[in-house]
Amino acid sequence: MSEVSLQPQQVRDAVRAALAEDLGLAGDITTNAIIVADVVGEAVIAARQPGVIAGLALAEAAFCELDADVRFKAMVTDGDAVQPGDIVARVAGKTRALLTAERVALNFLGHLSGVATFTRAYADAIAHTSARICCTRKTTPGLRAFEKYAVRCGGGMNHRFGLFDAVLIKDNHIAAAGGVSAAIEKARGAVGHLVKIEVEVDTLAQLDEVLRHPVDAILLDNMTPAQLREAAAIARAVNPRIILEASGGVTLETVRGIAETGVDLISSGALTHSVKTLDVGFDFQSETLF
């Protein structure tokens, strides 16, 4: 996972916004009233559930933003699997900074690790096939870059980032253009040479029509495994290099069957729109840890 990375500015901006949301104008009135400014302390961040970690850079930044001298020592790497009790990171610095940033750090870490953990479950279920699990644009507003990063940490692939970086032609576009052919031609004429074109189809009849045109990928929506298998056979016969994506009805129960149909990608909005946080605890301690 070591090559996956977030931009520093992106991390800083997101953490600052989250801290501002939690601190308001008046700050942590409990901690500031009770904890003396110069006291230092240490804490351990540990997993309370099995899962896959993602978002360590955001957790670290939350503490450092409040105390530039905080030492944050990650004991695992984003993408690593953890078991209950596993130490994820140790953090030492001003006690005020530790207690005040704790919730923001855990909110990011828990949410993104939740995404990675869910993704990993899908990825493991289809590891015996050549299919890959992949996210969608059904992300939490404001967190897309981080959630797509967490999907990669979990072993998934990223679909397009937004409306701007690839063409995905759906039924409304086709209807408005007056047919698949016109829609594809219009798109091809308007976008740059490094933009790929994918077309969504619901039926084998639509698939046949799309295959008459030069497209890069086809999204097979809401088909049964049997239909997917047939669609894959038809498509590969016409264009062996076409990319086939399946979507609709994807669950941990169904994903294996879908993957075995021979599609390249299986996309699921649930990876990012229905996230269960990974339970990660923050244990403040008095002994020196590192």
Stretch that binds a second copy, among 81-89, 102-110, 225-233, 250-258 (CB under 8 A): 102-110
CA distances to 153, 183, 251 from 56, rounded to whole Å, are 11, 43, 28
130, 172, 222, 251: which one binds a second copy (CB under 8 A) = 172
190, 237, 253, 290: which one binds a second copy (CB under 8 A) = 190
Residue 196 binds a second copy, judged by CB under 8 A? yes
Stretch that binds a second copy, among 44-52, 83-91, 109-117, 222-230 (CB under 8 A): 109-117
53, 66, 92, 232: which one binds a second copy (CB under 8 A) = 66
130, 142, 222, 238: which one binds a second copy (CB under 8 A) = 142
127, 165, 212, 238: which one binds a second copy (CB under 8 A) = 165
Q: Which residue lies nearer to a second copy by CB, 7 or 238?
A: 7
Backbone angles phi, psi at 88, to 5 degrees: -90, -40
Q: Which residue lies nearer to a second copy by CB, 248 or 257?
A: 248
Of residues 110-129, which lie at the interface with a second copy (CB under 8 A)?
A: 110-111, 114
In whole angstroms, what is the distance from residue 34 CA to residue 278 CA? 30
Sign of CA dihedral 81, 83, 86, 90: positive
Q: Which residues belong to the active site?
A: 103, 138, 170, 200, 221
In whole angstroms, what is the distance from residue 21 CA to residue 28 CA? 11
Q: Is 54 in contact with 119 (CB distance < 8 Å)?
A: no
Amino acid identity of residue 111, one-letter, is: H
Q: Which residue carries 């264009």 as its tokens? A: 239
Burial class (CB in 10 A: 0-12, 13-18, 19+), 76: middle
Of residues 218-237, which lie at the interface with a second copy (CB under 8 A)?
A: none
Q: Which residue lies nearer to a second copy by CB, 81 or 177?
A: 177
Q: Which residue lies nearer to a second copy by CB, 128 or 285?
A: 285
- For 193, other C-beta atoms within 10 Å of its C-beta total 5
HSE value, Cβ hemisphere, 13 Å, CA-based, for 93: 23
Residue 248 binds a second copy, judged by CB under 8 A? no
Which pair of structure tokens corresponds to residue 149? 């990063």
Stretch that binds a second copy, among 46-54, 122-130, 165-173, 254-262 (CB under 8 A): 165-173
Q: Is 116 in contact with 124 (CB distance < 8 Å)?
A: no
48, 71, 144, 213: which one binds a second copy (CB under 8 A) = 144
